[in-house]
Homo-oligomer: A and B are copies of this chain.
Amino acid sequence: MSYQMDGLPEQVTIYEVGPRDGLQNEPSVVPVEVKAEFIDRLADAGHKVIEATSFVHPKWVPQLADADELLTRLHRRPDVRYPVLVPNPRGLDRALAQGVDEIAIFASATEAFAAKNLNRTLESQFVMFEPVVARALDSGVKVRAYVSMCFGDPWEGPTPIAQVVAIGERLLGLGCHELSLGDTIGVGTPGHVTALIRAFRTPERLAVHFHDTYGQALGNTLAALAAGVTTVDASTGGIGGCPYAESATGNLATEDLVWMLRGLGIETGLDLGKLVSTSVWLAELLGRPSPSRVVQALSKG
């Protein structure tokens, strides 16, 4: 039984970030064969876009040091995209060597986070991105751009909307096909989401990436959908966070999002039962329960 709501899209693409954004923040390193099985299970549950891993230096994210091997182990499906995060030119070399056809880059919307996470300024981060994006596009590789701290950061407070739009439009101008607006510390609320999305000229090229630190992720998603967004980042079981930002906890859980979308009659193509059993399986391997409310409710008794 579903009840539609005025002004929402008929279809939503869930961009699954669990294998990358989730696992990179786990204290324990998950074995490569488990990661490969995780991704295969997500594809089997109906996911069409799964961010598989990151070509970040193993010194910074040892959890994903096996990125090259992981990509060779996947049972790729022709109708599934497997983008990988690429932080810099060296990461792009590795991605191209593996024949990756879609990458994501990671920008900051605030000076403080650019300094802490990228060791750059808001301006000088583009010195790094420009050649990466140009070379990727020249090689026929599509580029998604994440923009983190779009609603606020722990050091500067609320992020000015004009500042996010300036960074975002510039990334789109480089040729990125999609911009993922991240609420890295989860402080945003629905009116802020609406205002930010409306400030962009092309809402159809935006995705949203919410963290549930203050319980706002799903309400914010509803606001984003009402503002014209049709791609939503989520993480199976709600795993993940951000290692460089205190108080940044889990991503929006894919299952909680699917529950809402299903109730709204919005098509996702996902099998909720398979997602939940994947989260239960992963939670056992990680040794802690899934933070997803839906996983908790459906895996009881």
Q: Which B residues lie within 8 Å of A194 (CB)?
A: 3, 5
Instruction: Give the complex CA separation of A134 and B67 in angstroms.
Output: 71
Q: Which B residues lie within 8 Å of A158 (CB)?
A: 1
Q: Which B residues lie within 8 Å of A296 (CB)?
A: 249
Q: Does A2 contact B (CB under 8 A)?
A: yes
- A260-B294 in contact given A1-B157, A4-B191 (Cβ < 8 Å): no
Instruction: Give the complex CA separation of A292 and B296 in angstroms.
Output: 15
**B256 touching A215 by the CB < 8 A rule?**
yes
Q: Does A135 contact B (CB under 8 A)?
A: no
Instruction: Give the complex CA separation of A158 and B1 in angstroms.
Output: 7
Q: Does A71 contact B (CB under 8 A)?
A: no
**A191 touching B3 by the CB < 8 A rule?**
yes
**A246 touching B301 by the CB < 8 A rule?**
yes
Q: How many positions in chain A have a CB within 8 Å of any CB in the partner chain?
A: 45
- A215-B259 in contact given A191-B264, A222-B223 (Cβ < 8 Å): yes
A–B complex contacts, Cβ < 8 Å, 23 sampled:
A3-B189, A3-B194, A5-B223, A8-B191, A186-B293, A189-B263, A191-B265, A192-B263, A213-B293, A214-B294, A215-B218, A215-B259, A215-B294, A216-B256, A216-B259, A216-B263, A218-B218, A218-B219, A219-B219, A219-B260, A222-B222, A247-B297, A249-B297
**Sample of 15 more A-B contacts, CB < 8 Å, known A189-B262, A219-B222, A222-B223:** A3-B195, A5-B190, A5-B223, A188-B263, A190-B263, A191-B265, A192-B263, A214-B294, A215-B292, A215-B293, A216-B256, A216-B259, A218-B218, A222-B222, A246-B301
